Chain A
Amino acid sequence: EVQLVESGGGLVKPGGSLRLSCAVSGFTFSNAWMTWVRQAPGKGLEWVGRIKSKASGGATDYAASVKGRFTISRDDSKNTLYLQMNSLKTDDAAVYYCVLEWFGEDHWGQGTLVTVSS
């Protein structure tokens, strides 16, 4: 069974930083393209960004709203995906989900809550 477990969420002040992690099991992580999606309280889903597998070049791609502030990385030896979030704004407050992409058969994690408040 594929499992994705996010961690690292919490309360941070505007302008601060936070690093989220997503531990993957039950799948050959190195083969997967991985995505972060977020959901602000009471709102819909917003794609944050993606990292391809190293075999596909390992490129990253970001939503315009986070480009230059957020960085997605992966450690295939640890089966873990990361989201480094810098210069956080109140608009970044959301539940952050990691998603394992496999030709449309996407597996979603349970999410981790990020609160941005002074």
Chain B
Amino acid sequence: DIVMTQTPLSSPVTLGQPASISCRSSQSLVHSDGNTYLSWLQQRPGQPPRLLIYKISNRFSGVPDRFSGSGAGTEFTLKISRVEAEDAGVYYCMQVTQSPHTFGQGTKLEIK
């Protein structure tokens, strides 16, 4: 199974400041179809997960443009340009390139 490792696991961020979360996979996430199926999910307290970013850098419908994704191969990053109060929650990276799909441990974003 592909292991997904996120850093940091906890991130206190001041309102209006940027935030960044890293995700590393134990093997390349490039699919045989040429795409890299690395996604980022947001889970607010008491809510189900919500897709933010798919295929490394594509924002899902309705996701604010302050969220951006980058990376390639085995190293990926989620960035929030200016954190807002509603961004508090846990963020997960997820790979759907290979079965079983696997998730990072989650990064708790705390707004100061």
Contact = CB atoms under 8 A, between A and B. Distances in A.
Answer whether A and B are interacting partners: yes
B38 to A, nearest CB: 8
Report whether over half of chain B's contact residues are helix, strand or loop; otherwise say mixed: loop
Interface stretch (A12-20, A23-31, A40-48, A68-76): A40-48
A109 B48 CA distance: 7
B103 A47 contact: yes
B54 A104 contact: yes
Interface string A48-74: 001000000000010100000000000
Interface size class of B (residues with CB under 8 A): 20 to 34
Interface in A74-118: 95, 97, 101, 103-111
A21 interface: no
Nearest to A97: B48
B55 interface: yes
B96 interface: yes
Nearest to A49: B100
A101 B39 CA distance: 12
A116 B31 CA distance: 37
B49 A104 contact: no
Main secondary structure, interface of A, reads strand
B35 interface: yes
A61 B101 CA distance: 10
Given A104-B37, A108-B51, A47 B58 contact: no
B29 to A, nearest CB: 11
B94 interface: yes
Contacts of B41: 45
Given A63-B100, A101-B96, A104-B39, A45 B60 contact: no
A108 B50 contact: yes
Contacts of B39: 104, 106
29 contacts: A37-B49, A44-B103, A44-B104, A45-B94, A45-B103, A46-B103, A47-B102, A47-B103, A50-B99, A63-B100, A97-B48, A97-B49, A103-B35, A103-B55, A104-B37, A104-B39, A104-B55, A104-B58, A105-B51, A105-B54, A105-B60, A106-B39, A106-B51, A106-B96, A107-B51, A108-B48, A108-B49, A108-B51, A109-B48
